[in-house]
Amino acid sequence: IDEIYYVNLGVSFNKKKIINFLEKKKIYSKIYVKLRKYYFELGKNIKLSETEFNKIYDKIETLHICSPARTHFRFLKKNIKLNRIIIEKPFLNNLSQFKNIQNLISDKNFLLVNYTYLFSPITKKIPKEINKKSLKKITINFSNKDRFYKKKFDSIYDWLDHPLSIILYLFKKFPKSEIKKVEIIKNKGFYEKIIIDYNFDEFMLKVKINNSNKNVKNLSLNNGKIINFNFKKNLISNQKKKIYKGKITSFDTLYSVLKNKTQLDFQTLKFHKNILIEKNKILKKIKKYSQYYDQSK
């Protein structure tokens, strides 16, 4: 894409990964990055003021918002006229923000919410396995044992979009859920362990966040044999035997979709809204569960 690209980083946890990818792939002729207090052009050690950046802004067509979630609404609203926009998950904070953005979006906008693991090449291979009648159980497991958050429930808020987006992508709905575990650990910040059960008619789907002693991102399914989809390694395996290894990354797919403006069924406003609604329901259940747990101790 021979155009100018604008990355709004703020204090993004994932900023090095994004910048390294963009530098390596050389997709854009120029890349401007916004940090908290200034802008700069990637590859040049020169700071730009707001006034200087505004002179360039009209030439920009593409934006990647990867600032903290609390700033997403403000930056998206400010830049909604741009042709191509990627915004990291969580998309927005509440339905009020969603309705506001929904009223501003036009047919000219191509908006992608980066549900990272839906762009993984191994995710496309999951439906072939879940359609089998012998399916008994699915477990989605996301853990990062090293990261603590400043506020209670922030880790859940940050991570919940991953399993929810996978569930909605695979099954087009959320069945009844039940909170099975909430454990809050405080150590220079907060770290929450949760387990959520989704009860489908034919099988059980279990979501586990921060229940592993290792940093893991995977989905396993039992259809008579255990098949593991390892998002971190881009690998599908069965009892440690490799079935498939993805040759491209989620970022490769994401930017291909962006370049070609490919329409995807998990990139509709309805999809984003359903994630937001389900997420709010789960967070309410988790808070209620944890309050009861604290009172009963």
Residue 108 has pLDDT above 80, yes or no: yes
What pTM was computed for the model?
0.91
DSSP assignment of the chain equals --SEEEEE-TT-TTHHHHHHHHHHHT-SSEEEEE-SS-EEETTS--EE-HHHHHHHHTTEEEEEE-S-GGGHHHHHHHTTTSSEEEEESS--SSHHHHHHHHHH--TT-EEEEE-GGGGSTTGGGHHHHHTSTT--EEEEEEE-TT--BSSTTHHHHHHTHHHHHHHHHHHSS---EEEEEEEEEESSSEEEEEEEEEE-SS-EEEEEES-SSS-EEEEEEESSSEEEEETTTTEEEETTEEEEE-SS-HHHHHHHHHHHT---TTSSHHHHHHHHHHHHHHHHHHHHHHHHHHHH-
Q: In which band, very low, low, confident or very high, does the pLDDT at 1 lie, cut at 50, 70 and 90?
A: very low
Contact, 282 vs 290, CB < 8 A?
A: no
Whole-angstrom distance, CA of residue 219 vs CA of residue 211: 14
Whole-angstrom distance, CA of residue 256 vs CA of residue 230: 22
Whole-angstrom distance, CA of residue 113 vs CA of residue 70: 15
Whole-angstrom distance, CA of residue 198 vs CA of residue 206: 6
Say how many C-beta atoms besides its own lie within 10 A of residue 85's C-beta.
23
Q: Indicate the residue type of 259.
A: K
User: Mean pLDDT throughout 239-265?
Assistant: 93
Omega cis (within 30) before 90: yes
Which residue from 97, 91, 99 is spatially nearest to 115, judged by alpha carbons? 91
User: Mean pLDDT throughout 10-17?
Assistant: 52
Q: In which band, very low, low, confident or very high, does the pLDDT at 292 lie, cut at 50, 70 and 90?
A: low
* Average pLDDT of the chain to the nearest whole number: 89
Question: CA of 247: how far to CAs of 122, 124, 157, 234, 261, in Å?
Answer: 10, 13, 31, 8, 22
Q: In which band, very low, low, confident or very high, does the pLDDT at 2 lie, cut at 50, 70 and 90?
A: very low
Question: What pLDDT, in 10s, does the model give residues 16-39?
Answer: 778 888 888 888 888 888 887 888
Question: What pLDDT, in 10s, does the model give residues 128-163?
Answer: 888 767 889 999 999 998 889 999 999 899 999 999
User: Mean pLDDT throughout 165-180?
Assistant: 96
User: Mean pLDDT throughout 237-251?
Assistant: 92
How much is the pLDDT for 295? 43
